[in-house]
Amino acid sequence: MTGEKNKNAGRVRSATGPTAMYPGWKPSPEIAARWKKLTAPKELTEEHIQEEFVNHATKTLARSAFNMDDFAAYQASAYSVRDQLIDQWNSTQMYHTTVSPKRVYYLSLEFLIGRSMDNALLNLGIKDRYANAIDKLGFNMEDLVEQETDAALGNGGLGRLAACFMDSLATLDYPAWGYGIRYNYGIFEQSIVDGYQTEHPDYWLTFGNPWEIQRLDITYPVAFGGTVIRSKGASGGFVYTWEPTERVVAVAHDFPIPGFGTKSTINIRLWSSKPSNEFDFASFNAGEYEKSVKEQTDAENITSCLYPNDNHYIGKKLRLKQQYFFVCATLQDIIRRFKKTGEPWSEFPKHVAIQLNDTHPTIGIVELQRILIDEEGLDWDGAWKIVTKVYSYTNHTVLPEALEKWTVPLLKELLPRHMMIIFDINLFFLQSVERRYPGDREKLRRMSIIEEGVPQSVRMAYLAVVCCHTVNGVAELHSDLVQKQLFSEFVEYFGAGRFTNVTNGVTPRRWLHQANPRLSALITKTLKSQHWLKDLSELAKLKQFASDPEFQRKWMEIKASNKKRLAEHIAAHCNVYVNPDAIFDVQCKRIHEYKRQFMNILQVIHRYEELQKMTDEVLAKQVPRVVIFAGKSAPGYYIAKMVIKLINNAANVINYNLRTSKYLQLVFIPNYNVSLAEIIIPASDISQHISTAGTEASGTSNMKFVLNGGLIVGTVDGANIEIGEETGPENIFLFGVLTPEVEDIRHKQTYGTGIKVDPKLDSVVESIRDGTYGQPAIFEPLLHIDTMRKVDACFQNKAEWAKKSILAAASMGKFSSDRSINDYAKNIWHISPLPPPE
Ligand SMILES: *Cc1c(COP(=O)(O)O)cnc(C)c1O
């Protein structure tokens, strides 16, 4: 071989420094040409797929033809699909590096990805080829796909949104990166024991993870604690030196995300914490070896586990450490990439847009200000100008219990320099508020980033609003509440231009094409093209077939087969044989008071009591119903756990009544996750999205259900409203009070002026109270019984129902996450697509 030697060969590797670049080393033209030849992708014939499969089975896994099972075959396939991803990923990244466009960085503490193999095969357009190739080696692709464990690095809607957004960013060819944490334990696995939720750790990495690439070459130091030294700088001003007491290392793990029908493959970079190699000599010399080992394991603990709270803030120190660890490593990575351009800091906002998925990564704003001042030597104003052009923030909730407030003592202890900077940001902000509203101390108190109290705390949402150029809510109603309720004085102060709406969406690739392959095929055949998967508004063309009996028959036949598949899953996991001809009535989502699973179960119990009172003749005319619940409760959320127990106890009564069980069955399917959602959603006739008006920011499962031909029973809340605008009121069952009425009703209920609970409920509440269903429970019920009667009546007219189902699904163009991402790109990030050349 010719060419110069790699000067870095054999050099000592620092465990803390970034080792991603080897400055100065460039391959000679000969070496570069040789690499190019050796890495040129081969044509993906069935034979080549088989070669790669066998190669991974024998070399990567050390298996033989006589020692293979479905799991090994899954792994071998996965590694060979991953090779395809890496090829695309490399060429996408190389192209982005040469063009150096403005990129968006999507920062999220959660990515609820689910399984990757089926998705990768479909997005790369190589599923049939793989299935055929592997079939000839004696394996069935559908079985192999089932071997994969979910990457469940999220709680619910927020983490799933991040995953849908990555699929859209790749599909639409945007130069984008996702950043997050590689938790060793994802969201816990739920089982039901004696009717109660039981949690089991989700150690998802036991058998390795073929969908990530560990990047031992990409590591950054992260520090915590200590003190800040103030001294006089060369130019007379003060300089601040942070002397931390704890150091760890962040190691990158890359999850390639292929776009659908494009060569773009982007990246989610997840950080894992490792001990820094700087040996603790003090402890060692004092003979405290165990203490220094403990400090090392503490470092790895930072990214051990995902906090299992959804829409609820908890002030745990380790959680704050996770947040800072993640943004600190991420910013070093972003800055390293920017510095390759050689441009001055003033150009940073032309290359970088950073989106904060909720306030969880908000400390990253302060970290950038700190880096620019303390490390890069910019003055406050110069740094502030850059920081405020880069960041934007998505608000996900107006529920007060979900808003993050870190106490000042905790922030001081972990991040002393950041706490100083937050005080300064607040001081300068309040000084300008004072100039605008002189002497209004109450206003200063209300708008302060620091909440007074013992101890003081930092309102992270206010910090985000003050520092970000744009703040968005996730559905029209929610964005309205964000502006009128949560941040009204900030809207007045900064102007309405800082605030906007981007209604959420879901990716049709996973939530229709992958989860419901037969429906996807029917749509493609009917529209004579697959292009609707890249432009979901084309679904509207299905409307002309909504009354066509033949199309209705095919549409409903697919629904029926999806219901059979779900019935089999229920038989296997709940030991109940549900009637697949019944109406499937689903509520699956996190268990939360505001989502009102309790109201739903009351309605079911009421129906059960009515059925019992009926004569045989009346009973025979009833529309059979299967009610399906699924969802996890936070482990410490007592009331939510009691709702799970009540559902299971009610199921045990209802399913064993031989007279009525033909007409009403009830199941709680354990361990709701992305893979289970992919089975449940295509099988629903109706789904319940019945949050108290004004509490569900958007909801995204509502979109998934309608996309699969299921109708919504819902309150006038979140994205239900916009879904109803698209489908028309006849293809959605909305009920209940509007947001402005909720506070009035609460007031009247609490302080007792009128409004009596519907008397139809009296016996239900009584029967729960007297223990018919085990646990006594006293709650505040509001029923949606009338709506469910209407649903029953509609369901009896099969042709009308099919028409509603088709029209509703055909109206879902707006709710593709592609539309959401194009909104963000155009209105907030100001980035353009950059399709890789052919
Ligand atoms: C879509 C999705 C959610 C969000 O459901 P909502 O009903 O909108 O709260 C939660 N969990 C999983 C697994 C999902 O796929």
List, for residues 681-691, the tens digit of each pLDDT value. 999 999 999 99
Kindly give the pairing relationship between strand 405-407 and strand 457-459.
antiparallel
Residue whose CA is closest, atom 1 of ligand 1? 701
pLDDT band at 234 (very low <50, low <70, confident <90, very high): confident
Q: What is the pLDDT of residues 634-645, one digit of tens each?
A: 999 999 999 999
Q: What is each CA distance from 413 to 186, 218, 320, 363, 462, in whole angstroms?
A: 28, 28, 11, 14, 21
- Show the tokens assigned to 503: 């209604």
**Residue 767 pLDDT:** 60
* Selection from 275, 278, 281 nearest residue 294 by Cα: 275
pLDDT band at 297 (very low <50, low <70, confident <90, very high): confident
**39 or 253: which leads in pLDDT:** 253
- Cα separation, 629 vs 652, in Å, equals 14
Closest approach atom of ligand 1 to CA 589: 7
- Cα separation, 416 vs 242, in Å, equals 8
**Residue 260 pLDDT:** 98
Rounded distance from Cα 72 to ligand 1 centre (Å): 31
Rounded distance from Cα 380 to ligand 1 centre (Å): 42
Closest approach atom of ligand 1 to CA 698: 8
- Give mean pLDDT, residues 4-12: 40
115 tagged catalytic: no
- Show the tokens assigned to 537: 């508004």
pLDDT band at 18 (very low <50, low <70, confident <90, very high): very low
Among 367-381, 760-774, 785-799, which stretch is predicted with the lowest mean pLDDT? 760-774
Q: What is the pLDDT of residues 145-157, one digit of tens each?
A: 999 999 999 999 9
Rounded distance from Cα 27 to ligand 1 centre (Å): 48
* Selection from 674, 678, 708 nearest residue 514 by Cα: 678
Closest approach atom of ligand 1 to CA 631: 11
- Show the tokens assigned to 332: 């070093």
Rounded distance from Cα 112 to ligand 1 centre (Å): 10
Q: What is the pLDDT of residues 649-665, one digit of tens each?
A: 999 999 999 999 999 99
- Cα separation, 827 vs 655, in Å, equals 52
Closest approach atom of ligand 1 to CA 506: 1
Q: What is the pLDDT of residues 332-383, one digit of tens each?
A: 999 999 999 999 999 999 999 999 999 999 999 999 999 999 999 999 999 9
Which residue out of 103, 510, 595, 803 is catalytically annotated? 595
pLDDT band at 285 (very low <50, low <70, confident <90, very high): low
* Selection from 306, 299, 102, 337 nearest residue 218 by Cα: 337
pLDDT at 780 over 50: no
DSSP-based helix, strand, coil % in the chain, nearest 5: 50, 15, 35
> Of all helices (H) and strands (E), which one includes residue 228?
strand 227-232
* Selection from 369, 367, 425, 374 nearest residue 239 by Cα: 374
The amino acid that residue 96 corresponds to is H
**Residue 7 pLDDT:** 42
**Residue 9 pLDDT:** 39
Kindly give the pairing relationship between strand 103-107 and strand 176-181.
parallel
pLDDT at 418 over 80: yes
pLDDT band at 279 (very low <50, low <70, confident <90, very high): low
Residue whose CA is closest, atom 15 of ligand 1? 674
> Of all helices (H) and strands (E), which one includes residue 391?
strand 391-394
Where b means 16+ CB within 10 Å and e means fewer, 186-214 reads bbbbbebeebebeeeebebeeeebbbbbe
**Residue 13 pLDDT:** 42
Residue 651 burial by CB count (10 A; 0-12/13-18/19+): exposed, middle or buried? buried
- Cα separation, 734 vs 690, in Å, equals 9
pLDDT at 168 over 80: yes
pLDDT band at 759 (very low <50, low <70, confident <90, very high): low
pLDDT at 783 over 60: no
Q: What is the pLDDT of residues 185-217, one digit of tens each?
A: 999 999 999 999 999 999 999 999 999 999 999
Does the model's pTM come out above 0.85?
yes
- Cα separation, 768 vs 643, in Å, equals 12
pLDDT band at 22 (very low <50, low <70, confident <90, very high): low
* Selection from 323, 82, 101 nearest residue 222 by Cα: 323
**Residue 198 pLDDT:** 98
Query: Quick one: three-class SS letters along 427-470?
Result: HHHHHHHHHHCCCCHHHHHHHCCEECCCCCEEEHHHHHHHHCCE
Partners of 221 in the beta sheet? 249
The amino acid that residue 540 corresponds to is A
- Give mean pLDDT, residues 22-31: 76
**Residue 296 pLDDT:** 83
Q: What is the DSSP secondary structure assignment for residue 516, as one 8-state letter?
A: -
Closest approach atom of ligand 1 to CA 676: 13
- Cα separation, 508 vs 417, in Å, equals 45
26 tagged catalytic: no
Mean pLDDT of the chain: 92
- Show the tokens assigned to 51: 């070669």
Helices (H), 21-69: 29-39, 46-55
Which residue out of 149, 262, 394, 700 is catalytically annotated? 700
317 tagged catalytic: no
pLDDT at 6 over 50: no
pLDDT at 748 over 80: no
CB distance 607 to 664 below 8 Å: yes
pLDDT band at 283 (very low <50, low <70, confident <90, very high): low
396 tagged catalytic: yes
pLDDT at 429 over 70: yes
- Cα separation, 528 vs 519, in Å, equals 14
CB distance 247 to 16 below 8 Å: yes
The amino acid that residue 741 corresponds to is E
- Looking at the chain, the whole-number percentage of residues with pLDDT higher than 90 is 85
Q: What is the pLDDT of residues 445-470, one digit of tens each?
A: 999 999 999 999 999 999 999 999 99
- Residue that has been written with the tokens 């995902």 in this structure: 306
Q: What is the pLDDT of residues 303-328, one digit of tens each?
A: 999 999 999 999 999 999 999 999 99
58 tagged catalytic: no
Which of 311, 504, 589, 596 for mutating ligand 1's site (highest number of atoms within 8 Å of CB)?
A: 589
pLDDT at 753 over 60: no
pLDDT at 8 over 80: no
- Give mean pLDDT, residues 587-591: 98
Count CB-CB contacts under 10 A for residue 483: 21
- Looking at the chain, the whole-number percentage of residues with pLDDT higher than 70 is 90
Closest approach atom of ligand 1 to CA 700: 8
- Give mean pLDDT, residues 593-608: 94
Q: What is the pLDDT of residues 526-556, one digit of tens each?
A: 999 999 999 999 999 999 999 999 999 999 9
Which residue out of 590, 625, 784, 803 is catalytically annotated? 590
Which of 595, 701, 705, 713 for mutating ligand 1's site (highest number of atoms within 8 Å of CB)?
A: 701
pLDDT band at 778 (very low <50, low <70, confident <90, very high): very low
Partners of 328 in the beta sheet? none
700 tagged catalytic: yes
pLDDT band at 738 (very low <50, low <70, confident <90, very high): low
Task: Cite the beta strand spans of 565-617 per DSSP E.
Answer: 583-588
**Residue 280 pLDDT:** 60
Residue whose CA is closest, atom 10 of ligand 1? 156
Rounded distance from Cα 641 to ligand 1 centre (Å): 18
Residues with CB under 6 A from ligand 1: 156-157, 160, 589, 672-674, 677, 699-701, 704
Rounded distance from Cα 789 to ligand 1 centre (Å): 26
- Cα separation, 718 vs 164, in Å, equals 18
Rounded distance from Cα 288 to ligand 1 centre (Å): 48
**Residue 172 pLDDT:** 98
- Cα separation, 266 vs 177, in Å, equals 7
Count CB-CB contacts under 10 A for residue 164: 27
pLDDT band at 768 (very low <50, low <70, confident <90, very high): low
pLDDT at 772 over 60: no
Q: What is the pLDDT of residues 81-95, one digit of tens each?
A: 999 999 999 999 999
